[in-house]
Amino acid sequence: MSDTAVDADLADLLAQIDVMVAGAYDAGSARRRVDSGSLDRAAWRRLAGDLGLVGLHLPAHLGGQDQPFACTAAVASALGRRLAPAPHLGALGPATRLLAQASSGHRDRYLAPVLDGRSIVAVAGLEGGIDAARPVLEVRGGTVSGRLPAVLDADVADLLVVVSGDAVLVVETDSVGVTVTPVGALDLTRGRARVELDSAPAEVLDATSDDVRRAVLEATCLLAAESIAGAEACLDAALDYARLRSQFGRPIGAFQALQHALADLFGDVVSARAAVGAAVRSVDEPGGGAEETVRVAAVAASEAYRRAARENVHVHGGIGFTWEHDAHLHLRRALTDRPLLGDPVSHRRALGRLAVERAR
C-alpha cells in the first residue's frame, strides 16, 4: 500500500473518531456538568467501553488496537473541541502507558477496567511536566502515605496512578487510608481533589524512569492536541458571531478592527495546529527527537488557546461575559490547563537548553 493510501486511510479514521466522540459528548455536555456538578459516567463508559477509544495506540496484546498515536491525539482533540467534561487526560495517555508496563497480573486487574470504562483513573505526580521534580511519598511495606494537593479528576477516580520519586504506584480510592476531598478550580468542566494517603494499600508497578518520561511526553502532546482544538472552536465561534451580529446596519465582521484581530488569531491557530501535528507524528517516530517538537507544540497550543478564548469573549461583546454563554468555559479551561504539564515559560527555557546542547 502506498504512503498516500495510508495517509488517506488515517485521515478517514481520524474523521470517524471525531464523529464517534460526538456520539458520547454533545455540545451541551459541558454545560450539564457545570449545572449538575457531577460526572456523566455513562458517557465515559460509552466512549471507552462501547466505542473503544481509550488506549488506541497500545499494542493489541495489552488491550489496545495498534493504532498510531495520532488516533489517540484525535480523541483528545475531539474532546477538547467540545469542552467535554471527560476524565480523559490520564486515561488516554499517562495512566494507560504506565499501567501497560506492569506485570500481567497488574494489567488484568487495573488496565483492562480502565480501557473499557469500568474504572476511571487519575494520575498524580506529573503535574509539573517533563523535567519537574516528582513528589516523594512514604512507601513502606505495600502502603503509601503522603498528601497530593490538587489532582486532576481525582474527585471521580476509582484508581490513582501515583508517581513518587522513581516509583510508580497504583492506589484504589475506596481503600482504607485514602481520603479524597474535592477542591475548587477555575475550570468548571473538570474536577480536582486533594488526596491524603495514610498507610493506604498500594501496588508498585514495574515502570521505569524512562517509562515515566515517555508518559509525561505523551500527556503533554495530548494536552496540546486538546488545547489547539479548543482554540479552533473559539475561533469558529467568534467568526460565526462576527458574521451574524449586526451593528450600524452591517455585520460586525465588516469592521476593520475586528477583521485584523481575527486574522491575527487565525494565523496563530493555524501555526499552532501545524506544531501540534508535527509533535503528534514525532511521538511515533524513533530516534528520541520528540521532546523538542512536543515542547514547541505545548507552547504554541497554550498561547493560541488563551488568546482565542479571550478574543471569543470580546467578539461576543456583552453576551460573551455572561454566565449563560459558554465562552467563559473555554477561557476557564485555557487558563487552567496552561500550567498543567509545564507552562510556556518552562517549556521555552527547556527549548533554550536543548538548543545550546545541540550547538555544542
Rounded Cα–Cα distance for residues 110 and 83 (Å) = 27
Share of the chain above pLDDT 70, in %: 97
Residue 288 pLDDT grade (very low, low, confident, very high; cuts 50, 70, 90): low
Residue 133 pLDDT grade (very low, low, confident, very high; cuts 50, 70, 90): confident
Residue 218 pLDDT grade (very low, low, confident, very high; cuts 50, 70, 90): very high
Rounded Cα–Cα distance for residues 170 and 98 (Å) = 10
Helices assigned H by DSSP within the chain: 3-24, 29-36, 41-45, 69-81, 88-92, 94-99, 104-106, 112-115, 209-244, 256-284, 290-315, 317-320, 327-337, 344-359
CB 57, CB 111: distance < 8 Å: no
Cβ of 67: how many Cβ atoms within 10 Å? Answer: 17
Q: Please give the average per-residue pLDDT across 346-358, as a whole number.
A: 90
Whole-prediction pTM: 0.94
* Res 119 pLDDT > 80: yes
CB 121, CB 95: distance < 8 Å: yes
Rounded Cα–Cα distance for residues 294 and 93 (Å) = 14
Residue 143 pLDDT grade (very low, low, confident, very high; cuts 50, 70, 90): very high
CB 98, CB 161: distance < 8 Å: yes
* Res 154 pLDDT > 80: yes
Question: SS in 3 state form for 29-59?
Answer: HHHHHHHHCCCCHHHHHHHHHHCCCCCCCCC
CB 321, CB 269: distance < 8 Å: no
Q: For domain 210-359, give the fold.
A: Butyryl-CoA Dehydrogenase, subunit A; domain 3 (1.20.140)
Residue 7 pLDDT grade (very low, low, confident, very high; cuts 50, 70, 90): low
Rounded Cα–Cα distance for residues 285 and 291 (Å) = 11
pLDDT tens per residue, range 306-324: 999 999 999 998 888 888 8
Residues 6+ apart with CB under 8 A from 299: 344, 347, 348, 351
Rounded Cα–Cα distance for residues 25 and 46 (Å) = 9
pLDDT tens per residue, range 321-340: 888 899 999 999 999 999 99
Residues 6+ apart with CB under 8 A from 241: 252, 315, 316
Rounded Cα–Cα distance for residues 214 and 283 (Å) = 9
Residue 12 pLDDT grade (very low, low, confident, very high; cuts 50, 70, 90): confident
SS3 263: helix
Q: What is the dihedral of CA 232, 150, 221, 274, to 10 degrees?
A: 30
Question: Which three cell numbers, joined as nine digits, stand for 348?
Answer: 521555552
Residue 124, beta-bridge partner list: 162
Rounded Cα–Cα distance for residues 160 and 147 (Å) = 13
* Res 74 pLDDT > 80: yes
SS3 19: helix
* Res 6 pLDDT > 70: no
* Res 289 pLDDT > 80: no
